[in-house]
Structure formats: structure tokens, C-alpha cells
Structure 1
Amino acid sequence: MGEDRTLLIIWHSRTGASEQMAKAAARHENARLIRASNVTTHDLLDAAGYVFVCPENLASISGEMKEMFDTHYYAVLGKTEGRPYASIIAAGSDGEGAQRQLDRIATGWRLKRVADPKVVNFGAQKAEEIWAEKTVPPQIERECEELGLSISEGISLGVF
């Protein structure tokens, strides 16, 4: 595990949905919330587990999230094995492409998925809908908060 029991919530957002969901997942004392572009290798190595939160863009994870993985991939390879992770994807339709891509990267880091993928479909299909600021429904925020809390508790209890 990482040096401490911190759950690192890494996020990227263009229209607010992923940021809102990441902040909800981080509403507990053992969470650390960092935008993907600000993550360091040290942050990744010190964390005991991860929640990755981003939008699906053109059937892939967002560019900023992909850049975070690309930047740190080799620096953490072989050093994060077995750590727990979960994901939250803000999608315009199905989110499956982004989820598959994220899972393949996590498999390369040999992380352990500890919660079902959470894909939130906002149904945005037209340009003006896609680029519009999003508001996450309260129930979805609660589900994201519960996801973060359950993983954090699992880390604290040594379940993961």
C-alpha cells in the first residue's frame, strides 16, 4: 500500500459533471482530490487507492486524464500493484469506450477494481448539449460520495 491510507481522487472535467462527481467522492477525511494535470508521481505512489473521474470524449477517456496516465505510467509501473481503484465516467451516451480504456490502463498498473464501474449518462448528443455546463443530480452525488467512502473505509480496514 501507499505510505498512508489516503484515497486519491483524480479528476478531469470540461463541463463540470466530472468535477462535481469527484468532489462528492472526496467528501470524507481520508480523501485527497487532485485535478489530473496536477498529479505527480509522488501523489500516485503515496496513495493507498484511487478513484479516476473523467468525461468520455469520442469514446475515450479525456485527453487530460490520458496525459496523466501517459506521464506517470512507467514511473509507477510495478509499484502500485494490487492497490484498489474505482472509476466514474461522465458520458453523453454509453461511456463504454472510456471505461474499457481506463480498465486497460489500470490492468497495466496491475490495480484491483473494487467497485463496479460508475457511468453516468447525461444524454448530451448535440454540440450545444455536449458543451453545456452540467448539473449532477443529488442522487448521483450521493452515490459518488458513497463510492468514495466505501473504498476509503475498505482501505482503512485493510479489506483492500
Structure 2
Amino acid sequence: MSAHLLVVHHTPSPAVQEILEAVLAGTHAEGIEGVEVQVRPALSTSASDLLAADGVLLGTPANIGYMSGALKHFFDTVYYPTLQAKTGMPYGYWVHGNNDTEGARRAIESIAGALGWVKAAEPLLVTGPVDKGVREAAFELGGTLAATLMEG
């Protein structure tokens, strides 16, 4: 029986897409076994998708000091239907902003905390261009979440 990692993302820019691709590569890194990865755009992810998951990875740009409206829509959609069903679920996330990611970080951690999720990795908070170091950190984020599910 395999574990299910749900990757929920909003990727409106090449920079956020590049981070997503590195995260996904990490979920399939050498040594990762028995983890099925489902990748869903935030606007079309349902409570059923989340209920079927054993862990979740979130990705968003920082828009006007906050997470994207698409990721907020995901949280609005799944919050009450999954409020008590996924307590203790491991999660991780990445945020890309041109100059600030703090508001998005605070909002994501507040909502995830209210849902009872447990942070399985430090967030990847990126401002400015995506370089090799960001891609490596994104790869590690994906690998960490997948490895967490392998162990669980």
C-alpha cells in the first residue's frame, strides 16, 4: 500500500513553475519508494483530494503580501469538510515573492495550524529570481515530504 502525497499549487509565473518542477523532481528522488504523488492546481483541488492524501505540499506566489487567491480558494474549499479528518497530517510549502513572503507564510501556517497539520519541513521562502540554490532547496523540500510519508 502506497502513501499519497498531494501537491497543491498555483503557478502563474515561470519562477513558481520552476520551483514546482524542482519540488516534484524531489518527490521522485533516488530512494523514495511507495509514495504516489498527485499534482493538482489549487483552483481544482477538492476536499476529496485532500481526504485521500497522507501529506500535502503547497505552492504559491506571494501576491500583495498574501498567498495567491487560488491557494486561499483551496483552503476555503477544504477547511470545514476536512477540519477534523486530517489532524496530524504532515505538510510543507513554498512561496515565491518579488520582495516579501511574510504575509503568505503567516497565513499558510495559521490555516494549516487550525487544521491540525504538522509542518514536516521548513518552508521554502524565495524572493527574487530562482537560481540553483533555490532549485536544490525545492528538490530537498519535495524529497523531505515524500520521505516523511515513506517512514509513516
Q: Is the TM-score greater than 0.5?
A: yes
Q: Is the 8 A contact 1:50 1:84 kept in 2?
A: yes
One-letter code aligned to 1:107: G
Unaligned runs of 5+ in 2: 29-34
Q: Which residue of 1 aligns with 2:31?
A: none
Equivalent of 2:145, from 130, 145, 151? 151
> Please, which of 44, 52, 60 is the counterpart of residue 46 of structure 1?
52
Return 5+ residue gaps in structure 1 as ranges. 123-134
Is 1:15 the counterpart of 2:13 in the alignment? yes
- Counterpart CA distance in 1 for 2:111 and 2:87 is 12
Q: Supply the AA of the counterpart residue of 1:15.
A: S
Residue matched to 2:63: 57
- Provide TM-score, normalisation by structure 2: 0.87
Distance 1:147 1:117 in 2: 8
Equivalence map 1:108-123=2 (5 Å): 108-122=114-128
CA distance in 1, matches of 2:84, 2:5: 19
Map residues 2-151 of structure 1 onto 2, 5 A cutoff: 4-27=2-25, 28=28, 30-122=36-128, 136-151=130-145
Task: Return the alpha-carbon distance in structure 2 between the equivalents of residues 113 and 106 of structure 1.
Answer: 8
Counterparts of 2:130 and 2:37 in 1: how far apart (Å)? 20
Instruction: Measure, in 1, the Cα distance between the counterparts of 2:17 and 2:51.
Output: 23
Instruction: Render the CA deviation track for 1:69-95: whole Å, top value 9, x for unaligned.
Output: 111111111011000011100011130
Mapped contact 1:45–1:79 kept (Cα < 8 A): yes
Structure 1 Cα separation of the partners of residues 78 and 8 of structure 2 = 13
Tell me the TM-score normalised to structure 1 length.
0.83
Per-residue deviation, 1:20: 2.1
Secondary structure at 2:6 match in 1: strand
Aligned residues: 144
- Residue of structure 2 in register with 1:127 after alignment: none
Equivalent AA in structure 1 for residue 80 of structure 2: Y
- The C-alpha deviation readout for 1:108-138, integer Å capped at 9, x for no partner, is 111001111210101xxxxxxxxxxxx6323
What is the CA deviation profile of residues 51-107 of structure 1, one whole-angstrom value per residue up to 9, with x for unaligned ones?
Answer: 110001111100011011111111111011000011100011130010000111101
